Amino acid sequence: MKNEMPKIPNSNHKLLKKGTKLVLSAATFGVVAAGSFQGVNYVVDNYNKQNTTVQSTNVVKTSSSTTSTISEVAKNCMPSIVSITNVSVSDVQNYFSMYGNNSRSNPFTQQESTSVGSGVIINKKNGEIDILTNYHVIENAKTLTCTLADNTNVEATVKGVDEDRDLAVISIKTKDLSSDTLKQIAIATIGDSDKLQVGEQVVAIGNALGYGQSVTTGIVSATNRSVSTSSDTDKSQSYIQTDAAINPGNSGGALLNMSGELIGINSAKLSDTDVEGMGYAIAISDVKDSINTMLQGKDVSTSSNTPSSSYYQQNNEDDENDSTFPFDFWN
C-alpha cells in the first residue's frame, strides 16, 4: 500500500502569517571566529598511549523489550555519542579592497570559523574508531576535534563522505586514547528504522548549542517523510520526522528507539515562529550501503548514490507528495 506523505505548508500558505516563512535548518551550531568569536573552544589533547585491543571497547547495551526508561537508554547510549568541533577557513568579501589603493587587490579575505555538531561511534577496527555524522558538520574542515564521553579531546580525520545524503564517517586513532578512555566509550548498536511505527517513543542525544551532550525525547511523528532542498528539488531525502527537540549542535547525533538502538541521524529541524516540534533524522536503514562504503575509506559518488529499492517504492511513486523547503545552515 502506498504511503501517502501530505505536503507541509510552505512560506506562501494562506494559514501562515504574512512575512513569515518556514525554514528547514540543519541542526549545526556555528560561530564566526574573526576577532569576535565567542563560544565553545575545544583543545585537542593527543594521548600517545599504547594500542588497545578491540575487546576493550564496550558495545551499547540494548534491551530485547521496548520497556526501557528514557534514563536507561541515555545511560547505556551516551558513551557512544561524541561532540565534534569543526574549525574551517572560508573566503569572505573584503570590502576595503574596493576603495583607495586597495581597489585592485584580492576582493576576498580568509576568515576562520568554528562550528559544533555531534557524531555516533559505529565501528572499531584496525586501530581506528569510526564515527558517523552529517556531512555538513565536517564540511570544509581545517581541523576536526572529537570530545568523547569522558571529556577527552582527540583530533579526527575524514574517512569517507556522502555529500548527497549529508553523511560522513570520520575516524580517530586508538593509540591517541588512554586505556581508561577506551573503557568508557562504546559502539552503538544499529537498529532497523524500517520497523518504526508512528507514535513510537524515541530519544535524541546530541551536543545541543555546544554545551555538551543532552537528552530529549518525543515520538515518531511520521516515517518516510520526503524533503528536498529549494536549490535542487531533484534531490530528496527520506527522513524520520520526530517532535523530540532538535537544536543547533544536534546535527549528526543519535535518534534511538526505546531498546537503545540507533535508528536515525538527527540532521535538521523546521524552524519558524509558527512551528513547533518538527525535527528530521536520516533513517539508518536507508543508508546502510552508503555507511559501509564510507567505512571502507571511500566517498560515495553522485553517480553511484542510488537509494535502495525500498526507498524508491516508498518515496518516489508519487513525486507530487514531496515537500520542499529552503535549508538554512547555521554553521
* pLDDT tens, position by position, 42-55: 333 443 343 333 33
State residue 155's pLDDT score.
97
From the list 251, 259, 267, 271, the catalytic residue is 251
From the list 166, 176, 272, 286, the catalytic residue is 166
DSSP letter assigned to residue 51: P
From the list 136, 176, 228, 236, the catalytic residue is 136
DSSP letter assigned to residue 190: B
What are the CA-CA distances from residue 136 to residues 68, 71, 84, 249, 331 (Å)? Answer: 32, 30, 12, 11, 8
State residue 15's pLDDT score.
30
Q: What is the radius of gyration, based on Cα positions, of the chain? A: 20
What are the CA-CA distances from residue 35 to residues 71, 205, 241, 293, 323 (Å)? Answer: 41, 32, 38, 40, 40
Residue 232, C-alpha cell as written in the block: 535542487
* pLDDT tens, position by position, 233-285: 445 678 999 999 998 999 999 999 999 999 999 998 887 777 788 999 999 99
What are the mean pLDDT values of the chain's consecutive 10-residue runs (331 residues total)?
Answer: 43 35 62 42 38 53 69 96 92 63 64 92 96 96 96 97 96 97 96 96 94 94 78 65 93 97 93 83 96 96 46 33 34 32
- Provide the H-helix boundaries in 161-256: 179-184
Integer Cα distance of 119 and 170 in angstroms? 9
What burial class does residue 255 get, using C-beta atoms within 10 Å of its C-beta: 0-12 exposed, 13-18 middle, 19+ buried?
buried
State residue 204's pLDDT score.
97
State residue 60's pLDDT score.
77
Instruction: Please list, in sequence order, all residues whose beta carbon lies within 8 angstroms of the beta carbon of residue 213, skipping any fewer than 6 positions away.
Output: 78, 81, 83, 118, 205, 206, 207
Q: Is 251 a known active-site residue?
A: yes
Q: Is 166 a known active-site residue?
A: yes
Q: Which amino acid is at 312?
A: Y
